[in-house]
Amino acid sequence: NAGVTQTPKFQVLKTGQSMTLQCAQDMNHNSMYWYRQDPGMGLRLIYYSASEGTTDKGEVPNGYNVSRLNKREFSLRLESAAPSQTSVYFCASSGQARTEPQHFGDGTRLSIL
Amino acid sequence: EDQVTQSPEALRLQEGESSSLNCSYTVSGLRGLFWYRQDPGKGPEFLFTLYSAGEEKEKERLKATLTKKESFLHITAPKPEDSATYLCAAHSGGAQKLVFGQGTRLTINP
């Protein structure tokens, strides 16, 4: 049972570099989400995709872009990384109803120097 | 503004010492209250969903309850393997999103 798979698990970037975080789910879920988790801040929603072909901004979208490649995959891109984007990034997915529980991957730990 | 507050921030118990974690919420149109467990270096793992005041859910040593303003996660006779950070989240019908609390870091000493 793979569930939600995120790659890479760790990454170190220099300020100004770009990178894409990958996420794939095998639960046939319609909705997918990207969160960041910072000490003392809790989980904050960056972007979400309610279904294939749609994406919407969450609480902290600035500096990020997303692509819902197909039903399984949802990627997060940092075009020009900044030290403030140092964080742990989690991808999640959920079923059709918005009140269904979200299931999370194990995260990508990203450091921006 | 939708808000979820968990207390205490950290809790240290002896094995077998029962206690409760608190989750206070103010969201517009609660559609569901979720509890997750998070181990170090891992993503949150779903535990329970509660939908209406008075509802209770149980799993092994854990029981979650819900009122109109709070949810409690009761842990009975905990074991060291119950050590983790416990997160609660409220689904805001008004904003159509999940609002997370900051978590309670629970440590169970043998």
Paired sense of beta strands A19-25 and A4-7, if any: antiparallel
Place of tokens 């999940």: B98
Who has greater pLDDT, B52 or A40?
B52
Closest residue on chain A to B35 (Cα): A101
State how far the Cα of A9 lies from the Cα of A67, in Å rounded to an integer. Answer: 19
**H or E stretch covering B66:** strand B62-66
Say if the Cβ atoms of B32 and A99 lie within 8 Å: yes
What is the pLDDT confidence band of residue A2, given thresholds at 50, 70 and 90?
confident
> Looking at the predicted structure, is the pLDDT value of residue B6 above 70?
yes
Give the residue from A102, A106, A108, A109 with the most B CB atoms within 10 Å of its CB, the best one to mutate: A102
* Nearest chain A alpha carbon to B51: A99
If you average pLDDT over each of A29-43, B64-78, B81-95, which comes out highest?
B64-78
Q: Do A105 and B32 touch (CB under 8 A)?
A: no
Closest CA to A112 of A34, A33, A24, A38: A38
Compute the mean pLDDT over every residue in chain B, rounded to the nearest whole number: 94
What is the share, in percent, of chain B residues with pLDDT greater than 70?
A: 97
Query: In A, which residues are within 8 Å of B49 by CB distance?
Result: 99, 101
Q: Which residues have C-beta within 8 Å of that of residue A62, sequence separation ≥ 6?
A: none
Q: Summarize pLDDT for A4-30 with one digit per residue, the tens.
A: 999 999 999 999 999 999 999 999 999
Other C-beta atoms lying within 10 Å of the C-beta of residue A56: 13
Q: Which amino acid is at B81?
A: E
Kindly indicate the confidence band of residue B2, based on its pLDDT and cuts at 50, 70 and 90.
Answer: confident
Nearest chain A Cα to B102, which residue? Answer: A42
Round to whole Å and give the CA distance between B89 and A35.
Answer: 13
The answer on pLDDT for A97 being more than 70 is no
As given in the structure block, the two tokens for residue A15 are: 């300020």
User: pLDDT tens for residues A32-57?
Assistant: 999 999 988 889 999 999 888 899 99
Residue B95 has pLDDT above 70, yes or no: no
Strand pairing category for B19-26 and B3-7:
antiparallel
pLDDT at B103 over 70: yes
pLDDT at B1 over 70: yes
Q: In this predicted structure, which of A8-17, A50-59, A69-78, B34-43 has the lowest mean pLDDT?
A: A50-59
Q: Which residue has the tokens 């918005």?
A: A98
State yes or no: cis peptide before A8, omega within 30 of 0. Answer: yes
Query: In the predicted model, what is the mean pLDDT of chain A?
Result: 93
Q: Which among B45, B46, B102 is the nearest to A42, CB-wise?
A: B102
